[in-house]
């Protein structure tokens, strides 16, 4: 009897813990204010699942991941000095191909950031794994498999960034090199022999098998180098890697790998680069990616599948893992949908934000921009707000984006959205059908919610616009090229008046490197669009110089 009562109590507790299942179907209407608490947890559960999910974003939770190289022997091989001639020769080959002289070079080159400090709070704070701040950079993690520890990289590798000395989880990593890491790994593994590796690193048999497994999976991964630093080619990596697998979505694992790869003319010959998206916008949307091509299905679940296709994973094992770890997906989804944007007044004194200009800019915005980008109710319009501190008056109290996420063609570079056609083949996968995932290439891009727009420079999906002044300039007069750089100091690395990268003689000299040079004349990097019918009518600009200044100040408060 006691056992029966305990079982019933556990069952009822599990129902109450997750009493709501989000509607991921196409066309689901999004309420005002978005879906921050996507599973409608109680306050206590919401905090718990949100924190658990944030840990998963830092330490990749998918234990069956396709790429899990052995940690200790690879670190030893890269780091350790050796007098053994053969070992030095082997190290020279690996370092020459990869460019890494220490394992820490691997992490730094990826663009990983330090964990937030214990003194950080609000959007700049994360729960630490095991309640201890790791020494490693955020996004790096270890997974144990069959008696050996392998290393991998998590969501935070591409979706966290440095903002004036603070690490912000859920923000676009402006200088991620995740794609480049895979390209170098493939080159290194092409000249590696697992038995020689084991002999000269002291790797265990289990560690050697991890290496063999990663090498085997990499054969089924196709890669493309991003056009410019800060852009991501994961779309191409997923599609081109999928081309190496059988067309039959119901094939067994042994049949998944095709003898003859399929051909993809779109992505073979054209770029489809895009920057990683900020997470704080997801709560306002009912379709995902910069072009809105994911029409249905949980975007976090979908991203895990795509990520593992790009790592050459066994999809049968992956599907089993996903079935058995639905709570992990719920925690990840809870965390990502709950992310909040940083405020400009966290770094710039509120007194430097002209309230009068912001109010005038609100009028310009509501007349010219709100129809596509939504409405933002400001605290300064609330009765009695003049009694509040200026920082509080500048805040947004409600976001009223679209009930259905729109897609609009405003003439921006088309290659990213055109490339999505190649990913429609993912609809044929049994795992996609089972989980309601539908992808359809779109005729344009999503005019995104503008929450935290001040922190999202450079602009457009392809980073072709360095700051808001350039964005509000007719495309024919926009900067053809610019230099990018880390946002370390708001006084030198940020143009407050134009909101974004400083240009011309204001550009920090240390930024002037080949890697940080962005040239909009390259295919896929066009800065055209978003001016005709928006800021230009009959060939003339709609906004005056004062209108533009006021609009920028308003946008900085979002």
Q: What are 517's strand-pairing partners?
A: 483
**266-325 pLDDT, tens per residue?**
888 899 999 999 999 999 999 999 999 999 999 999 999 999 999 999 999 999 999 999
Give, for 540, the enclosing helix (H) or strand (E).
strand 540-541
Q: Which domains does the chain have, with CATH numbers?
A: 43-75+102-195+204-338 (no CATH), 344-556 (1.10.760)
pLDDT in tens, 422-434: 999 899 999 999 9
Q: Is the omega angle on the peptide bond into residue 345 within 30 degrees of 0, that is, cis?
A: no
Q: What is the 3-state secondary structure (H, E, C) of 406-431?
A: CCECCCCCCHHHHHHHHHHHHHHCHH
85-89, 146-150, 399-403, 498-502: the lowest-pLDDT one: 85-89
Q: Please report the pLDDT score of residue 269 as a whole number.
A: 85
Beta bridge partner(s), residue 398: 377
pLDDT-derived band at 405 (thresholds 50, 70, 90) equals very high
Answer yes or no: are the C-beta atoms of 454 and 467 closer than 8 Å. Answer: no
pLDDT at 260: 43
- Beta-sheet strands, E only, within 50-179: 140-145, 148-153, 160-163, 166-169
pLDDT of the residue at 19: 58
Give pTM, 2 decimals. Answer: 0.92
CA distance 286 to 26: 7
Spatial separation of the C-alpha atoms in residues 175 and 161, rounded to whole Å = 8
Return d(Cα 424, Cα 437) in angstroms, integer. Answer: 10
Cα gap 127→414, rounded to integer Å: 39
Query: What is the C-alpha to C-alpha distance for residues 240 and 238, in angstroms, rounded to an integer?
Result: 6
For residue 82, what pLDDT is reported?
67
The answer to whether 172 and 448 are in contact (CB under 8 A) is no
pLDDT band at 371 (very low <50, low <70, confident <90, very high): very high
- Identify the residue with better confidence: 261 or 206: 206
Q: Which of 135, 435, 111, 443 is nearest to 296 (CA)?
A: 435
Could you tell me which residues are beta bridge partners of residue 153? 140
Which pLDDT tens digit goes with each residue over 455-465?
999 999 999 99
**Treating both helix axes as pointing N-terminal to C-terminal, what angle do 326-338 and 299-309 enclose, rounded to 10 degrees?**
110
pLDDT class for 541, splitting at 50, 70, 90?
very high
Check residue 406 and give its pLDDT.
Answer: 97
Contacts of 23 (CB under 8 A, 6+ apart): none
Mean of per-residue pLDDT scores for the chain: 90
Q: Tell me: pLDDT of 358 over 90.
A: yes
Dihedral sign, CA of 350, 351, 354, 359? Answer: positive
455: CB partners within 8 A, 6+ apart: 163, 168, 171, 341, 342, 344
The DSSP result for 135-147, as a single string, is SSPBTEEEEEETT
pLDDT, tens digit (0-9, with 9 covering 90-100), for 69-98: 999 999 988 887 767 665 666 666 666 655
Q: Is the pLDDT of residue 467 over 90?
A: yes
Packing angle, helices 85-98 and 71-79, rounded to 10? 100
- In which band, very low, low, confident or very high, does the pLDDT at 264 lie, cut at 50, 70 and 90? low
| pLDDT above 90: percentage of residues in the chain | 77
Question: 138 with 127: CB under 8 angstroms?
Answer: no
Give residue-wise pLDDT tens across range 199-258: 888 999 999 999 999 999 998 898 899 999 999 999 899 998 888 775 544 444 444 444
């Amino acid at each position: 009897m006691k056992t029966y009562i305990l079982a019933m109590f556990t069952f009822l507790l599990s129902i109450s813990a997750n009493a709501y299942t989000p509607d991921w179907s196409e066309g689901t209407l999004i309420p005002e204010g978005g879906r921050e608490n996507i599973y409608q947890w109680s306050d206590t559960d919401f905090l718990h699942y949100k924190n658990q999910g944030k840990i998963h974003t830092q330490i990749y939770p998918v234990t069956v991941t396709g790429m899990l190289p052995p940690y200790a022997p690879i670190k030893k091989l890269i780091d350790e000095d050796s007098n053994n001639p053969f070992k030095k020769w082997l190290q020279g080959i690996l370092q020459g191909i990869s460019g890494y002289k220490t394992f820490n070079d691997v992490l730094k080159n990826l663009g990983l950031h330090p964990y937030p400090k214990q003194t950080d709070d609000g959007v700049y704070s994360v729960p630490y794994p095991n309640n201890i701040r790791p020494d490693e950079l955020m996004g790096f993690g270890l997974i144990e498999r069959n008696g050996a520890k392998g290393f991998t990289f998590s969501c935070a590798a591409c979706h966290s960034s440095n903002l004036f000395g603070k690490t912000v989880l859920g923000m676009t990593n402006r200088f991620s090199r995740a794609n480049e890491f895979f390209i170098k790994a493939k080159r290194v593994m092409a000249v590696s022999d697992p038995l020689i590796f084991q002999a000269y690193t002291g790797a265990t048999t289990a560690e050697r098998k991890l290496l063999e497994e990663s090498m085997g999976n990499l054969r089924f991964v196709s890669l493309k180098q991003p056009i410019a630093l800060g852009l991501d080619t994961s779309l191409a990596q997923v599609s081109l890697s999928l081309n190496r697998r059988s067309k039959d979505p119901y094939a067994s694992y042994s049949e998944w790998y095709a003898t003859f790869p399929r051909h993809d003319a779109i992505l073979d010959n054209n770029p489809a680069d895009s920057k990683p998206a900020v997470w704080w916008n997801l709560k306002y949307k009912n379709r995902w990616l910069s072009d809105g091509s994911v029409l249905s299905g949980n975007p976090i679940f979908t991203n895990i599948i795509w990520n593992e296709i790009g790592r050459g994973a066994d999809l049968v094992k992956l599907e089993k893992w996903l079935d058995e770890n639905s709570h992990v997906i719920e925690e990840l989804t809870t965390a990502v949908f709950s992310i909040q944007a940083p405020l400009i007044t966290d770094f710039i004194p509120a007194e430097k934000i002209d309230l009068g200009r912001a109010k005038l800019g609100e009028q310009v915005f509501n007349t010219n921009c709100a129809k596509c980008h939504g409405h933002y109710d400001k605290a300064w319009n609330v009765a009695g707000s003049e009694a509040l501190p200026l920082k509080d008056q500048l805040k947004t109290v409600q976001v009223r984006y679209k009930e259905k996420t729109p897609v609009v063609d405003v003439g921006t570079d088309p290659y990213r959205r055109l490339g999505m056609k190649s990913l429609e083949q993912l609809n044929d996968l049994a795992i996609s059908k089972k989980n309601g995932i539908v992808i359809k290439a779109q005729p344009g891009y999503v005019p995104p919610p503008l929450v935290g727009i001040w922190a999202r420079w450079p602009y457009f999906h392809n980073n072709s616009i360095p700051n808001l002044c350039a964005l509000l300039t007719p495309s024919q007069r926009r900067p053809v090229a610019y230099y990018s750089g880390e946002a370390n100091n708001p006084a030198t690395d940020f143009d407050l008046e134009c909101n974004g990268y400083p240009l011309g003689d204001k550009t920090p000299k240390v930024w002037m490197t080949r890697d940080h040079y962005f040239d909009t004349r390259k295919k896929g990097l066009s800065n055209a669009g978003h001016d005709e019918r928006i800021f230009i009518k009959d060939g003339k600009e709609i906004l005056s110089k004062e209108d533009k200044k006021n609009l920028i100040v308003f946008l900085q408060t979002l």
